[in-house]
Amino acid sequence: MVDRVLGQLSLADGLTSADEMIFDLIAKELDWAPIRTLLGERSGPGSGNTSYPAEPLLRCLLLGVWHGLSDPALEAQIRDRLSFRRFAGFSLSDRTPDHSTLWR
């Protein structure tokens, strides 16, 4: 299984960037490197579908907890809200995880 490549920003992503929001400030303040180390790699040897990296999934789960969202509601909000996408590390052209991925 191979991790997906996420966050390649496009011109559209640059045009939709607004002033710093609370999620941008949180992302700057947290040192994600030790968290990334603790999470480790999700992919393993062998063939299989690509998987989402662990850090964007953790960021999605944090958004869900902070806003009291169910997995289906979180899926919808990640697709809909630019601030959620940006905090989780998804560009406008990235596929976002569905509710069953978030649930697992």
Q: How confident is the model at residue 30 (pLDDT cuts 50, 70, 90)?
A: confident
How far, in Å, CA of 104 to CA of 92, rounded? Answer: 24
Please name every residue paired with 51 in a beta bridge, in sequence order, or none if there are none.
3
pLDDT tens-digit readout, 40-98 = 776 656 566 677 888 888 899 999 999 999 999 999 999 998 888 888 888 888 888 88
Q: What is the pLDDT of residue 1?
A: 42
Q: What is the pLDDT of residue 18?
A: 58
Residue 89 backbone dihedrals phi, psi, to 5 degrees: 100, 20
Which residue has better confidence, 54 or 22? Answer: 54
